[in-house]
Amino acid sequence: MSVMKHWRLKSKEERRFKQGHPWVYSNELQESPKGIEVGQMLQLNDAGGEFLAYGFGNPGSLIAFRALSREKQEFADTASLLSKIISENIEKAFHFRKQWYSMRQSFRLVFGENDDLPGLVIDRYFGKHAVYVVQPHSAGMDINLSIITEALSKISNNLGESPETKVIYRRDAGSREREGLTKEPTEVRFLHTGKLVESFDSYREFSFQLQSIMNREVTLTVDLISGQKTGFFFDQASNVKLVQILLLRKLRYQEKQTKKFELLDLCSYVGQWSVQLAQVFQEKKIPLMITAVDASDSALKFAEINVKRNSIEAGSSEVQFNRLKADVLEPMGGLQDKNFEVVIADPPAFIKNRKSIPQGKHAYVQLFTTAIQKTAKNGLVVCCSCSQLLSAEEMKEVLQKASRRSGRKVRWIAQGSPSVDHFTKAEFEEGHYLKSWVGSVE
């Protein structure tokens, strides 16, 4: 039996981890975290030497230990135990999603610590065939891509997926630097053979379908190679559906509409909100003008493609699209005298680290103030934050300040939540990063 290195917690630092939190910080350890390889598998014990968990160690990171399993096991060697734990955790993550999603749908398959796979994100896209996009954010996951790929190949085989099924390795996130990792070029490989795909232009414009509460699914085209995160954000699915439901109820009790409604999509990215909310207006046969604002030409191009395609597929010519390249924190030319029946403010994370909290909170206040000001009387405004370091209480404070600065009264009528594939654990507050509020503006 091979020897695994053990670390012990300080006696006064045990409570948080024993309550279920998956991280241990370097100052909570009795021993110095130095002297191990980055991403090495370790056993964590309590102050008295009793087993607590297996996980990855990193001597160069503030998060020195990331838990993989709290179940003590007999093992012949460390490598086989590590392979067993990672493979079983990926299998568990898959079977949980299988309760909620058809295999012809796209969803997040692995959500890091919440799936006991710290620092690992896997999104499963389904177009003509399945594509698995893998993002390792922790050193432990980065050096064990072969185990991860083997587990995905097994799942894919059991599903009877095509030999054309691909896996895309996205190792380009800035967060890797905190783990001592460098950014690496994106790779596309055949999942089952590992053969490298030389040309992957088709994945720069990859089309897949999203489930909708309306009568049909929507088709979206995204960039899986260099688009944000894995190319798309599945976490907003429940919040989009919530706003669709609110819009349906609101329009049901209004008099027949003949005038054109206007929707403002701030930080539109590829147009997820615009495409799906447009379905509600198409269902009610209400003309709609969408104005999408983003700082990226590429994102706006995809947003326009997605809106126009879905309008055609719905057999509707009642949706018009206007794109505006702009920084949403700066004056947006052409919008000064306009207001909109629906305004979406779903920006990227303004808070990247603790030092940027004050600046980030100010940016959220500024954006949400603009969003409220641009909302028509009795219109809906949607304000979102994906900054993990902005707490739920601080989000409330930001909204209060934005409402005051706008000079408008807002009835906050609903709060959203992450989609099912982005479930969270109560004991891991850091995993509950997404906040979404819906308001009716007087």
In this structure, what CATH number is given to the domain that contains residue 131?
Answer: 3.30.750.80
Same domain membership, residue 358 and residue 275: yes
| List of residues 6+ apart from 78 with CB closer than 8 A | 2, 4, 41
Same domain membership, residue 311 and residue 408: yes
Sign (positive/negative) of CA torsion 389, 393, 395, 398?
A: negative
Task: Phi first, then psi: give them for residue 279, nearest 5 degrees.
Answer: -60, -35
Query: Does residue 258 form part of some domain?
Result: yes
Same domain membership, residue 46 and residue 84: no
**Residue 1: what pLDDT?**
41
Instruction: State the pLDDT confidence band at 253, using cuts at 50, 70 and 90.
Output: confident
Q: What is the pLDDT of residues 298-343, one digit of tens each?
A: 999 999 999 999 988 877 768 999 999 999 999 887 787 789 999 9
Give me the CATH number covering residue 43: 2.30.130.10
Same domain membership, residue 87 and residue 61: no
* C-alpha to C-alpha distance for 56 and 43, rounded to whole angstroms: 9
Same domain membership, residue 97 and residue 54: no
Q: What mean pLDDT do residues 427-442 have? A: 94
Query: Does residue 437 form part of some domain?
Result: yes
Query: Does residue 97 form part of some domain?
Result: yes
Query: Does residue 46 form part of some domain?
Result: yes
Same domain membership, residue 405 and residue 330: yes
**Residue 65: what pLDDT?**
97
Judged against a pLDDT cut of 80, whether residue 127 lies above it is answered with yes
Q: What is the residue-averaged pLDDT of the chain? A: 94
Q: What is the pLDDT of residues 274-305, one digit of tens each?
A: 999 999 998 888 999 999 999 999 999 999 99
Which residues constitute the domain of residue 87? 78-203
Instruction: State the pLDDT confidence band at 258, using cuts at 50, 70 and 90.
Output: low
Q: What mean pLDDT do residues 369-374 have? A: 96
C-alpha 294 chain-centroid distance: 18
Give me the CATH number covering residue 382: 3.40.50.150
Same domain membership, residue 431 and residue 283: yes
Query: Does residue 218 form part of some domain?
Result: no
Total number of residues shown for the chain: 442
* C-alpha to C-alpha distance for 140 and 138, rounded to whole angstroms: 5
Sign (positive/negative) of CA torsion 173, 143, 235, 319?
A: positive
Same domain membership, residue 303 and residue 403: yes
Query: What interhelical angle do 272-283 and 237-252 show, nearest 10?
Result: 30
Domain final residue pick, 47, 69, 91: 69
At residue 331, the 3 state secondary structure works out as coil
Query: Does residue 227 form part of some domain?
Result: no
Query: Does residue 252 form part of some domain?
Result: yes
Query: Are the C-beta atoms of residues 152 and 166 closer than 8 Å to each other?
Result: no
Instruction: State the pLDDT confidence band at 401, using cuts at 50, 70 and 90.
Output: very high
**Residue 260: what pLDDT?**
86
At residue 425, the 3 state secondary structure works out as coil
Judged against a pLDDT cut of 80, whether residue 259 lies above it is answered with no
**Residue 211: what pLDDT?**
83
Judged against a pLDDT cut of 60, whether residue 379 lies above it is answered with yes
Same domain membership, residue 82 and residue 65: no
Percent residues over pLDDT 70 in the chain: 98
* C-alpha to C-alpha distance for 11 and 41, rounded to whole angstroms: 22
User: Structurally, how many domains does the chain consist of?
Assistant: 3
Same domain membership, residue 244 and residue 384: yes
Same domain membership, residue 281 and residue 197: no
Percent residues over pLDDT 90 in the chain: 83
**Residue 91: what pLDDT?**
98
Same domain membership, residue 99 and residue 57: no
Q: What is the pLDDT of residues 159-202, one digit of tens each?
A: 999 999 999 999 999 888 888 899 999 999 999 999 999 889 99
Instruction: State the pLDDT confidence band at 216, using cuts at 50, 70 and 90.
Output: confident
Domain final residue pick, 203, 224, 250: 203
Half-sphere exposure of 348 (CA within 13 A, CB side): 14
Domain final residue pick, 49, 69, 89: 69
**Residue 35: what pLDDT?**
87
Q: What is the pLDDT of residues 331-370, one digit of tens each?
A: 887 787 789 999 999 999 999 989 999 999 999 999 999 9
